[in-house]
Amino acid sequence: MAARLEPVKNSAGQNEGGIYRRHVKSCPRSGRCDCSYVVVWRHRGKQHKATYRTLTDARRAKGRRDAGERHPAGRATFGDYFERWIDSYSGRTSRGFTDTSRALYRLALERHAVPRWSRWRLGDVEPADVRTLYAELREDGASTATLKRLRAALSALFATAVEDRVIQWNPVQGVRIPPAPAGELEEGERAKALTRAELALLLAAIPAEWRLFFELLAHTGLRISEAIGLKWCHLDLGTRPRVMVREQFCEGERRRLKSKHARRDVPLSPGMAERLRQLRRDHYRGDNAPVFTTMSGTELSRPNLASRVLKPAAKAVGLTVDGSEGQVAWVSFHTFRHTCASLLFAEGRNPKQVQEWLGHAESGFTIRTYVHLLDEGVGDADFLDLAVRPAGAARGNTGATPGEARLAAAVHDDPLDSALACGISEQPQRAVTPG
């Protein structure tokens, strides 16, 4: 049973003021003891107390109180705070928070965090506890995507608690997800693109009714959610044909784009524009109708498209790796995006142009993601005959190749149109066109 609080005196024999010692009943109160220290303060007319193990900790806490921190430490448990937070959370950006994301956050937390920390005080969760949770889930076979979704949900919950002054800091910050076991592909791992020969084989193996969709992915580098979300009003098939990327279709609903940088216009080659005109002639159902649809006219299902069309075609032409259940296709929808980037780089586009084409936030990310797709070594010096010469000098036999001449001329052109003119509009090999 605890005794009453006794004021703590400083070296001058004066009371510390607000710091007390709580001696247990059995304490002799002579010499050093392990009894705790208590800081007492008032907030909104009520007295509050906080216990500390050492005098140093108590003095630091009192210093924070004296500096203006008056709000008492939160007593809410993780489970209680989660129940209040999940229904009211509105996101941390101007983009808001969708019901689909709320459902994913709820599922991640209810499945992995609530069972462990439900009765813990929110402030008792420390970085070591978060690290242990990640490690245990990884050992149980959780994927990197699962762990990242959990981290996002936890970080949002604790960040809101900091704003509410229920806790002082976010324990999720700085805690890294354990590396994936051998054999699992990490998000952000080196982007793997199809060669022109592999692309031609894959397109030929895809059923004719779906081939145009996948050709468009390789031409434009659209994210799969952006391609599925295309409406006819997003296509300009006039004299300067282009795709106007304005929204996406993800998790069964139309959403705003991933970021402001994702809003972009991607030019179309003459051949692609003509095939889209033919599709519009045969299947147009209004400006707000999807360009590519199911038999009933609704938006495509990403999982169905992958399992019924893409994966079987990739396996049929040998684009596979060894998996736990035999040979599995390594090609994904994002592979077409990587392939588009590789074609652009191969035809001389610079990182800034590729960044704008793909809708990346910064060219630095583009370089880090695709640097391994660039030619290795210093290359040849033929182009210098054309680039370095006195004004008015005769051209003569400079040794410049047609590709270099195109690149020199493209400097003054629109970066997106010139990229198409330098390779994307040309089929990588003879590919079967849609029937």
Task: Rounding to the nearest 10 degrees, give the CA dihedral for residues 240, 246, 249, 253.
Answer: -140
Amino acid 420: pLDDT: 37
Per-residue tokens: 132: 């242990």
Q: Are 311 and 210 in contact (CB under 8 A)?
A: no
C-alpha 331/C-alpha 314 separation (Å) is: 7
Q: Are 189 and 332 in contact (CB under 8 A)?
A: no
Q: How many CA atoms lie within 13 A of 312 on its CB side?
A: 9
Amino acid 416: pLDDT: 37
Q: Which CB contacts under 8 angstroms, 24+ apart, belong to 281-289? A: 284/232, 286/232, 287/231, 287/232, 287/233, 288/231, 288/232, 288/233, 289/231, 289/232
Amino acid 395: pLDDT: 52
C-alpha 419/C-alpha 344 separation (Å) is: 6
Amino acid 382: pLDDT: 61
Q: Are 77 and 119 in contact (CB under 8 A)?
A: yes
Q: pLDDT tens across 115-124, in order?
A: 999 999 888 8
3-class state of residue 24 by DSSP: strand
Digits of tens for pLDDT over the chain (435 positions)?
456 788 888 877 777 778 888 887 778 776 677 788 888 877 667 777 777 778 888 887 777 666 655 454 557 889 999 999 998 888 876 666 778 788 889 999 999 999 999 999 888 888 989 999 998 888 777 778 889 899 999 999 999 988 887 887 899 988 999 886 644 444 444 568 888 899 999 999 999 999 999 999 999 999 999 999 999 999 999 999 999 999 998 877 888 887 788 899 999 999 999 999 999 999 999 999 999 999 888 999 988 999 999 999 999 999 988 765 677 888 989 899 999 988 888 888 888 999 999 998 888 778 877 776 665 444 556 656 565 656 655 554 444 444 444 433 433 344 334 333 333 333 333 333 333
Q: At what angle are helices 127-139 and 144-163 packed, to 10 degrees?
A: 160
Amino acid 265: pLDDT: 95
Per-residue tokens: 305: 């498209």
DSSP alpha helices (H): ranges in 123-207? 127-139, 144-163, 196-205
Enumerate domains of the chain plus CATH numbers.
6-66 (no CATH), 78-163 (1.10.150)
C-alpha 9/C-alpha 20 separation (Å) is: 9
Q: pLDDT tens across 16-37, in order?
A: 778 888 887 778 776 677 788 8
Strand order in the sheet with 242-245: 235-236, 242-245, 264-267
Residue 390's CB is within 10 A of a number of other CB atoms, namely 5
Q: Are 432 and 208 in contact (CB under 8 A)?
A: yes
